[in-house]
Amino acid sequence: MFDQLSDRLQSTLSEVRSRGKLSEADVDRAMREIRLALLEADVNFKVVKSFTAELKERCLGAGVLDSLDPGQQVVKIVNEELAKLMGGAGREIVLAPSGTSVILMAGLQGSGKTTACAKLAKQLAKDGRTPALAACDTQRPAAIEQLVTVGGRAGVPVYEKGTDPDPVEIAEWALNRARAEDRDVLIVDTAGRLHVDEELMDELAAIKKRVKPHDVLLVLDAMTGQDAVNVATEFAERTDFDGIVLTKLDGDARGGAALSVKAVTGKPVMYASTGERIEELERFQPERMASRILGMGDVLSLIEKAEEVSDQQQAEELERKIRKQEFTLEDFLQQMRQLRRMGPLSNVLGMLPGMGGAMKQLKGANMDDRELDRLEAIILSMTPEERRRPEIIKGSRRKRIAQGSGSTVQSVNQLTKQFAQMQKLMKQLAEGKMPSPESIARSASRSGGPRFTR
C-alpha cells in the first residue's frame, strides 16, 4: 500500500538531488506515484487526472532548493495544492439571528445520518443553542427509535410522529412545534436514499421546499469510493446542499471521496465525524485532510487534541516532576488517562506521521485500549506507597497486585520494568539529551514490546 507517499517520492527522486531542477522524466515518475496514492485514497479517477496535470506544470516550474531533497519539495507542492483544492475558507453552518433555523440532513443509506444528527445537536447545544430533532425517516425499520435514543444521549428533544404520516408533513409539524417550544434550531433527519431513486429524491426536494432549511448537509461516508462523484452531483442537483458532513473518519479510510466531492460540486466539507461517541464531531480542517489523503499523518490535529484535554497547570507540574525525576506511577496513570481522553489509541497514533509501520507493530503487540485497561487495573491495585516507589514491589506484593487486578505476576513485573525504563528515558530528557524516536522504539522492543499481560 501507499502508507508513506512522502517516503516513496523521496526514494523515487533521491538521485536528482542537487541537480537544481526537476526534469520532465523525474516529474512524470513522481506524478505516477501521486496518481497511485490518490487512487488508493479513493479520489475520483477524473479528478486525479486533472489534478496531476496541473501539479505537473507547477513541479516543472519549481526549482529544487539545495537544502531540501526534491522528494520533499514535491510533497510540499502536492500538499499545498491539495489543501487548496480541499479547502478554501471553511464555513460555519448558517443560523437565522432569530426564530427557528432548520438544518436538513440527507444522504445515502448507512452513511451515518441519524448519528450525525445527534452529534450536531449536541455540538449546537454545547454552543448555547436549543436544538431539537425531527424524525422524518419513515422508511428504515426502527430508525425513529434510534433517533430517539441518540437524541436522548445528546440531551435534545426528538419530535416524532411514527412512520405513518408523510415525511413532508412530519417535517412541517416538527417545525411548528419547534417554533412553539422556542427551539432555535431544528435538525431534520431523513431516510437514507439512493441518488438515483427518483421517488425518494422528489420527496427530499419536497421536504426542502416545505421547511425551507437554512442549510442542507449531505452526510458522506469517508469510505466511499469512485461513486462519490455521482452521488454528490445528483444530491447537489436535487437539493443544492450547502456542505458535507464526512463520517467514519475514525477508520483508516483515506477519505479521498471528500476531495472528489469538493472538486466536482465546489461544496465544502464542514464537519468530520471521528468516533462512536456522541461528542466526536469536529469542524473540518482542509489542510489536515490533505495530509491524510496523502497518508502523511496529521500532527496538527494531534497537538490540538492534546491541548484540549490537558490543562496547563498539570503540564507544568508534570514537567517539574520529570525534571526532578519525581515521576511516579501515579503520574503515569494520570498521563495514561489523559491520552485516553484524546480518543481510542488507534486514532491518536494514526495522526502521527510515519506511524504507519509503528501502528502495525503495536497492533501485533496488541497495544490497544484493552491493554490500557489492564495497565490501569494493575496500577489501581497498588497501594499509594507502591505507586510512588515501585521498586518496593517484590514477592508477596507482586502476587497481591496480580490477584487484585486479575492479571499475572509476569504482567506486574513487566509493568514495573517498563516503568523503570521510562524513568531512565525521562532522566535523559531532563538532562537535555533528546532521545531519537528510534532509540525509544529500540528500548521498547528490547523489553519485548508493550506486552504487559496475557
The binding site for other proteins (CB under 8 A) comprises: 36, 39-42, 44-46, 108-112, 139-146, 148-150, 153, 194-196, 221, 223-228, 230-231, 248, 250-254, 256-257, 344-346, 350, 363, 366, 368-370
Q: Which three cell numbers stand for residue 144?
A: 425513529
Q: Which is nearer to other proteins, 70 or 344 (CB)?
A: 344
395-405 and 369-380 are packed helices; what angle lies between their axes, rounded to 10 degrees? 130
Q: Which is nearer to other proteins, 71 or 256 (CB)?
A: 256
Round to whole Å and give the CA distance between 224 and 232.
11
In whole angstroms, the minimum distance from the beta carbon of 416 to other proteins comes to: 25
In whole angstroms, the minimum distance from the beta carbon of 384 to other proteins comes to: 29
Round to whole Å and give the CA distance between 107 and 191.
8
Q: Which is nearer to other proteins, 13 or 158 (CB)?
A: 158
In whole angstroms, the minimum distance from the beta carbon of 201 to other proteins comes to: 12
Q: Which of the 8 DSSP states describes residue 159?
A: E
Q: Decide if 295 contacts 2 (C-beta within 8 A).
A: yes
Q: Which is nearer to other proteins, 196 or 303 (CB)?
A: 196
Q: Which is nearer to other proteins, 96 or 142 (CB)?
A: 142
In whole angstroms, the minimum distance from the beta carbon of 238 to other proteins comes to: 14
Q: Which is nearer to other proteins, 286 or 350 (CB)?
A: 350
In whole angstroms, the minimum distance from the beta carbon of 418 to other proteins comes to: 20
Q: Which of the 8 DSSP states describes residue 328?
A: -
Round to whole Å and give the CA distance between 324 and 346.
32
Q: Decide if 205 contacts 239 (C-beta within 8 A).
A: yes
How distant is the alpha carbon of residue 369 from its chain centre? 17
In whole angstroms, the minimum distance from the beta carbon of 19 to other proteins comes to: 29
Round to whole Å and give the CA distance between 237 and 242.
12
Closest among 148, 93, 153, 146 to 119, alpha carbons compared: 153
